[in-house]
Chains A and B, each alone.
Chain A
Amino acid sequence: MFALVDVNSFYASAEKIFDPSIRQRPVVVLTNNDGCICALCDQAKLLGVKKFGPYYKVQDMLRDQGAVIRSSNYELYDDLSNKMMEVLGRFAPRQHVYSIDECFLDFGQWVPKEGWADYALMIRETVARELRLPVSVGISLTPTLAKVASFVAKKRKVKKGTAVLISDEIRRRLLAQMQVGDIWGVGKRIASRLTAMNVDSALALADACPKAMRKQFSVEIERTVRELNGTFCFDWETLPTEKKQTFSTRAFGSPVTDFTSLRQSLAWHAERVAEKVRRQQSAIQVLTVFAHANPFASSGHYHRSVQHTFAFPVNDVSSLVRVVSKAATEIYKPGVKFHKSGVGALALCPARQTQPDLFDESKSKPELMQCMDLINQRYGKNTLGIAAKGVNVQWSMKRNFLSPQFTTNWQDIPKITC
């Protein structure tokens, strides 16, 4: 048996934990330089706000309704996520963390004495008690069905937040009510192709011939079909643990028109990408560098990106900065109001597998990078960095509505009135 546990509106729920004054109020969390809505609590959903929409469109309405606006407090969310994963890990012999707010529990052959329904409730109550986070728990025969159960758990009126899906009859009835696109692993494009083939409900997909699905789509879709019928065939190894790509992109706080700012922002992203890549002990083969004007603006559209293929995979920041500085000259165009810039590592390979070469002219300095990473780990981010990104830059991250780092910064611990 498997469980999928995820937090309901994680970022918004996290904001309420250490700020009791906003618990009863609608809370909206923004991301991307405060431009975009990324989480809504239940009260905020009632206002009719949509997730992933631009904030400026609903700004006035939210203010009139007395909604609480917060910037994403990643320091807080990360700490809460780690604690939650530790709590959830107690409930099963194997655990697969899937994202910041969800994980699978793999129970194997084990069955709880109190039955699955009570066990699901116990998981939910333990997380609520220890962390004050509301979670949904879906339990079923396979990870894909656990995801279905969790989908149901969120919608249930009774026993809200938990669902156990075992009996064949209930499984078929539920799948019949679900769209094929609601199933985990079925993306938008595949969903529309399936719908065109008259496979529109999740049940129709479950009843499809797995072999034929493999032929027409992929081995992943074949697995999905088998999983929907209760046969475990999900491969944890193929879960994206080691990322094959990594990006750092961000919209500017205010439009950028000068070359220096653009170049500095790209150097800043290059530094972040290099750091991420080193942390997973990979090296970059292909780098993309881009910047564009506001795509939603009525005029002045502009987008340019530059790819660079390294002769030998690198992960040191100086190599990347050299590339992005050169790319900046190709991307920059006077008069363009740049809205966003970014750097992405498109092809990654394990750092250990890179072969030294007779003609390798790279000036990589692994010791220097290691030393910089250690210093930054110990004394906090941005203690040491490259000069190319500039200091006191005006394009940097906007987090105007940031809550305190209640659990990770001594100065920010909650104050309690005695």
Chain B
Amino acid sequence: MLKVIPVFAQAGISGFQSPAAEYRQLTLDLDELLMEHPTATFIGQAKGDSMTGVGIFDGDLLIVDRAATASSLDVVVANLNGSFVCKLFDRKASLLLSPGSNQQGHQLREGDIFEEEGIVIRSVRLHRYARQLAQCLR
């Protein structure tokens, strides 16, 4: 979407103009920083502690990019046998690693349903309670 710097029409002289008016910039936009391909990005929430070794903790937000360029070792979100998992994916060895836990890596075998959903390009730590994420009491 096109972003516009708001400049208000002025007529006549009314008081003193702000000396900073000519330096107005767009305010920082987190979306711009967190998402490289907005149409290809979705947001998920981490559940569990197996990824603490790469700095992903329970409750963190995961920014998952389906259009990011793959490298040999990526933090990915994948469909493993019918549920979403976040793992460190060693592509050459077909190995799903859980850094930070004592769990063994999962070696992909024939018969596993495995679909890579996207690469976790950022994760967001929420240091305080976020009202929007809390489930309503119903």
Contacts and interface: CB of A to CB of B under 8 A. Distances in A.
Contact of A416 (B49, B84, B134): B84
Interface in A102-153: 129-132
B39 A131 contact: yes
A407 B84 CA distance: 15
Contact of B133 (A21, A23, A407, A410): A410
Given A130-B67, A414-B84, 10 more contacts: A24-B82, A131-B39, A413-B44, A415-B44, A416-B45, A416-B84, A417-B48, A417-B83, A417-B84, A418-B86
Contact of B82 (A23, A131, A418): A23
B48 A418 contact: yes
A395 interface: no
A132 B113 CA distance: 16
B40 A418 contact: no
30 contacts: A20-B82, A21-B83, A23-B115, A24-B113, A83-B38, A86-B39, A87-B40, A129-B67, A130-B66, A130-B67, A131-B66, A132-B66, A406-B42, A410-B130, A411-B132, A411-B136, A413-B42, A413-B43, A414-B84, A415-B45, A415-B47, A416-B44, A416-B47, A416-B77, A417-B47, A417-B48, A417-B86, A418-B46, A418-B48, A418-B98
A130 B66 CA distance: 5
Contacts of A414: 42, 44-45, 84
Contacts of B44: 413-416
Interface size class of B (residues with CB under 8 A): 35 or more
Nearest to B50: A418
B132 A129 contact: no
A129 B66 contact: yes
Contacts of B61: 413
B135 interface: yes
Contacts of B39: 83-84, 86-87, 130-131
B58 A418 contact: yes
A91 to B, nearest CB: 13
A407 B45 CA distance: 12
Contacts of A407: 42-43
B83 A413 contact: no
A25 to B, nearest CB: 10
Contacts, number: 84
A129 B65 CA distance: 10
A131 B118 CA distance: 10
Looking at A18, A413, A417, the one whose CB has the most chain B CB atoms below 10 A away is A417
Interface of A: 18, 20-21, 23-24, 83-84, 86-87, 129-132, 406-407, 410-411, 413-418
A234 B111 CA distance: 51
Nearest to B40: A130
A18 B38 CA distance: 17
Interface in B57-93: 58, 61-62, 66-67, 77, 79, 82-87
Contacts of B43: 407, 413
A100 B59 CA distance: 34
A23 B38 CA distance: 24
B125 interface: no
A23 B66 contact: no
B51 to A, nearest CB: 4
B115 A418 contact: no
A332 B117 CA distance: 53
Contacts of B49: 418
B45 A413 contact: yes
A131 B43 CA distance: 13
Instruction: List 4 tightest A-B contacts by C-beta distance, closest first.
Output: A130-B40, A20-B79, A418-B48, A410-B132
Contacts of A84: 39
B2 to A, nearest CB: 13
A130 B35 CA distance: 13
A408 to B, nearest CB: 11
Contacts of B133: 410-411
Contacts of B77: 416
Nearest to A20: B79
Contacts of B117: 132
A20 B115 contact: yes
A23 B115 CA distance: 11
Interface in B11-47: 37-40, 42-47
A105 to B, nearest CB: 16
Nearest to B133: A410
A87 B85 CA distance: 27
Contacts of B79: 20, 23
A224 B67 CA distance: 39
Contacts of A418: 46-51, 56, 58, 85-87, 98
Nearest to B87: A418
